[in-house]
Amino acid sequence: MKQIKKYYHKKILVLGLAKSGVSAASLLHRLGAFVTVNDMKPLSENPAAQGLLEQGITVICGDHPVELLDEGFELIVKNPGIPYHNPMVERALEKGIPIITEVELAYQVSEAPFVAITGTNGKTTTTTLVHEMLSEGGKAPLIAGNIGTVAADVAQEATEDNIIVIELSSFQLMGIDQFNPLIAIITNLYEAHIDYHGKLIEYWKAKANITKNQTGAEYLIVNVDQEQVVEIAKRSKARMIPFSTKKMVDNGAYVKDGAIWFIAEKIIDLKDIVLPGEHNLENILSSVAAAKLSGVTNEAIFKVLNSFNGVKHRLQFIAEKGGRKFYNDSKATNILATSKALAAFKEPVVLLAGGLDRGNEFDELFPHLEQVKALVTFGETAGKIERVAREAGIKSIIRVDNVEKAVPAAFELSSPGDVVLLSPACASWDQYKTFEVRGDIFIEAVHKLK
């Protein structure tokens, strides 16, 4: 870890805890800062805050008192989940207090370079693939961010012999200052998180931050099948490495003659790739490009693609029961992700969907329901999804209380040879703390089937 001096004796507020806040507070304390932590959860119910208090860090819990900002803080490290329209954050901006996220701290202390992945869909799969390829290639990668250990924890242990592979959200990227990955990937961009960003253009701007500090010494791997991603690349100073599922590209990754290629090198035939779904080609192409730029051999890349069968909760095969194949795609928290999951199958599908109501309708799902023979819904959006299903001609529709009850209901609606797919098209927060919890409940329910 770099022993940076810039935070020594600086008065810093860590706003919001969770794992990233705890890590940021501990790191800043280690760097000699005067740290105050402010979290909404009461201290008596907040073991993380209690642990920081034991380290000698000032802790204020139970609410976000705006008057706290009058105490002369020189920096705020904000939990990414706290929106910028939060009164505390708005007041900090009015006072001109810089706001960063924990990822920025990780970058500043890290001795290792970063491979950073962002986009609307495919981030987790791409991050995992890059990590697996670098591991197979002997590059000593460490995985961090939304998919792994908190970046600031990883950065403190990393050396210059490592590479940190990190998945980054738009929320995290809004709070960077110097962050500059050696390799950045933008998988794709669609409409998402408008409730947080307010406008689509603000979401795109946040994603573009991944390359804002890059120079000609760094690489930006981009999906050239998408106009908005290309526009971001045009404004970047990095060396652009294109990938495309639709056409051959110079100096990048593409599909030709039923195989994956990087520049003029054939990497693997599509038939030898285990990961299902055409949508995963984007993830595979960008991962191949990152691995090749990192010096990984074609043999190592082939070995990973010939064995990697998916990330947990992302089109994850669970089991075959009574001739039905069960897939867990709980990470599909938007319509696009569910549409792509449905496109991965040619068999009849019994779809399990529903969750948090963010105010949107589900008409965009209509053209992707052709092979859906039955629907099981749950959660706040059950009625909205049922309406679209009826319009699509789906006759068998059942509403249940939760995912646990959805599994046996789907089994009864299905036949041998069918796919039973949990792909909710919604966030989980109406019923479950995370999409991981939702997916784990699905997995457990599948294994309980007789």
CATH of the domain at 403: 3.90.190.20
**Domain range for residue 374?**
316-448
Together in a domain, 156 and 297: yes
Asked if the structure places residue 6 within a domain, the reply is no
Together in a domain, 296 and 324: no
Asked if the structure places residue 4 within a domain, the reply is no
Asked if the structure places residue 342 within a domain, the reply is yes
Asked if the structure places residue 287 within a domain, the reply is yes
Residue 180 annotated as part of some ligand binding site: no
- Which residue, 100, 121, 141, sits at the end of a domain? 100
Together in a domain, 188 and 298: yes
- Count of beta carbons in the 10 Å neighbourhood of residue 220: 22
Together in a domain, 377 and 427: yes
Give burial (CB, 10 Å; 0-12/13-18/19+) of 371.
middle
What was the pLDDT predicted at 193?
81
Asked if the structure places residue 164 within a domain, the reply is yes
Residue 338 annotated as part of some ligand binding site: no
Residue 245 annotated as part of some ligand binding site: no
DSSP letter assigned to residue 149: B
Together in a domain, 149 and 69: no
Together in a domain, 134 and 73: no
8 A C-beta contact, residue 120 and residue 277: no
Distance CA 148, CA 154 (A): 9
Asked if the structure places residue 3 within a domain, the reply is no
Which candidate, 351, 358, 356, 357, places its Cα nearest to that of 377?
Answer: 351
pLDDT in tens, 290-321: 999 999 999 999 999 999 978 889 888 899 99
Together in a domain, 119 and 58: no
DSSP letter assigned to residue 114: E
Residue 120 annotated as part of some ligand binding site: yes
Residue 354 annotated as part of some ligand binding site: no
Average confidence score pLDDT of the chain: 95
Asked if the structure places residue 441 within a domain, the reply is yes
What was the pLDDT predicted at 311?
82
Residues whose CB falls within 8 Å of the CB of residue 314, separated by 6 or more in sequence, listed in order: 124, 125, 329, 331, 332
Between the CA atoms of 243, 244, 247 and 252, what dihedral angle is there, to the nearest 10 degrees?
10
- Count of beta carbons in the 10 Å neighbourhood of residue 347: 12
Residue 324, helix vs strand vs coil: strand
Q: CATH number of the domain at 267, please.
A: 3.40.1190.10
Together in a domain, 134 and 259: yes
CA 228 to chain centre: 19
Q: Give the chain's residues under pLDDT 50.
A: none
Distance CA 57, CA 38 (A): 11
What was the pLDDT predicted at 89?
96
Residue 72 annotated as part of some ligand binding site: no
Together in a domain, 90 and 108: no
- Which residue, 286, 305, 324, sits at the end of a domain? 305
Together in a domain, 205 and 64: no
Together in a domain, 279 and 149: yes
pLDDT in tens, 244-279: 999 999 999 999 999 999 999 999 999 999 887 778
Q: How far is CA 415 from CA 169, 219, 332, 373, in A?
A: 39, 49, 24, 10
What was the pLDDT predicted at 414?
98
Query: How many folded domains does the chain comprise?
Result: 3
- Which residue, 257, 272, 305, sits at the end of a domain? 305
Asked if the structure places residue 2 within a domain, the reply is no
Residues whose CB falls within 8 Å of the CB of residue 116, separated by 6 or more in sequence, listed in order: 166, 168, 179, 181, 183, 184, 185, 210
What was the pLDDT predicted at 384?
98
Residue 149 annotated as part of some ligand binding site: no
Together in a domain, 297 and 372: no
